[in-house]
Structure 1
Amino acid sequence: MNALEFSFRSEILHALPTGALFWPAQRLLVVSDLHLGKSARAARFGGAQLPPYETTETLTRLATDLDATKARRVICLGDSFDAPTLQTALPEADLLTLTTLQAGLDWTWIEGNHDPGPVQLGGTHRYSLSIGALHFRHIAETTPTPGEVTGHYHPKATLSLRGRALTRPCFLFDDTRLILPAYGAFTGGLHCNDPALTRLMSPGAQAILTGTKPCKIPMPGLAPLS
């Protein structure tokens, strides 16, 4: 597992190539914005046509990360489903995969803006959850609790590599908050130099680009620490 280790609120965390976050001390895997059922919703309501197997791809990636980390706890940071009714309308094979992944694990669904109601599957449904120094919710608060871990914005960053622009989903973190990238396939993203993100993060914030070998860079669009 080619993860990048970093420190946040004195805790050692691992940014996985897939966009998942692993907290070894808690044996906890955190994923955000799976948007399961996105292609089904788009097809039903006349949206953009997406590859029909995006949910299967996302769940396969999650199964691989669970196996690699041996996590015993899982937090899904909201927008796990692309619409409230999709949790029971997924293809039978995908529902079976999801319930199989949950077996024997302490699984928490955090409420998102796409899936605000209780999830009618195994696990616990919460608005937020605190574990030690870290506080998990879907959307970053204007004035955060130190140790806030959120998703929602689907951040991505661009790195110039050998004269080519390389854009990847990314983690963002500073001394106070940590924002995860979207984990779901075909979820899109918001460039981290967008004002919606730069106004949340402090000068000196870092971005960790996902991919085969995660790498850490200064967050684009912010002034470095003096």
Structure 2
Amino acid sequence: MRVDVWSDVVCPWCYVGLANLGEALDRFDHEDDVDVVLHSYQLDPGAPRRDDQPLEQRLAEKYGASVGQIRAQQARIVSLGAERGIDFRFDQAIGGNTFDAHRLLHLARARGVQLELKHALGKAYFTDGEPIGEVDTLRRAALSVGLDADEVEAVLTGEAFADDVRSDIAAAQQIGVSGVPFFVVDGRLGVSGAQPPETLLDILDQGWQTQVQAPVPVVAGGGADADACGPDGCEI
């Protein structure tokens, strides 16, 4: 059974959501028969390669909130992240365009280390304060999960997988994804947001018990609305 996940590298709820999926899979009886495929989604496709403006200041300006309000919202996700072993350090985050990161994730998919690279990129941005749009950051993350240096360099200096990234984004629009993370189980059951592990486990069980041979349109799956990052970004 396949689980497709749309997410962005700079989306904190995506990071939490993937951790929740990992916990759900650990409790799923058929974990070894599940293929998790990550798909590209950009919260800010027009972002520069590097944005040195403090994240809390950028969010405060974007949402018309005070820096204090943003910090309070960030504290909530820091707490949730800690429960999942994620060390969110928003005060150190250096923003940037994620298009090249997504291209590398497609290479990683082809080499069987996509989830590993996703986690490495998340740690680089959210914990280590590395500029997520810069080549050096992307190269270090890619090499740390065992990708071939020559292949990585070819991607970073060329246009490989650019069409794949665009196709993922177009597919998200086609099925009505308005916030990430967005999970699709067995091509049929869709659920948005950083759903808790229990909800994701229920969707996995439902998908397994009702598998079909031919793809059908995605429909909203169980679970209440959960935190997500939308087209305007993440108000955290």
Name which structure has the greater RCO, CA cutoff 8 Å, separation 6+.
2
Q: Which has the higher strand share?
A: 1
Under a length normalisation based on structure 2, what TM-score does the superposition of the two structures give?
0.28
Q: Which has the higher helix share?
A: 2
Under a length normalisation based on structure 1, what TM-score does the superposition of the two structures give?
0.29
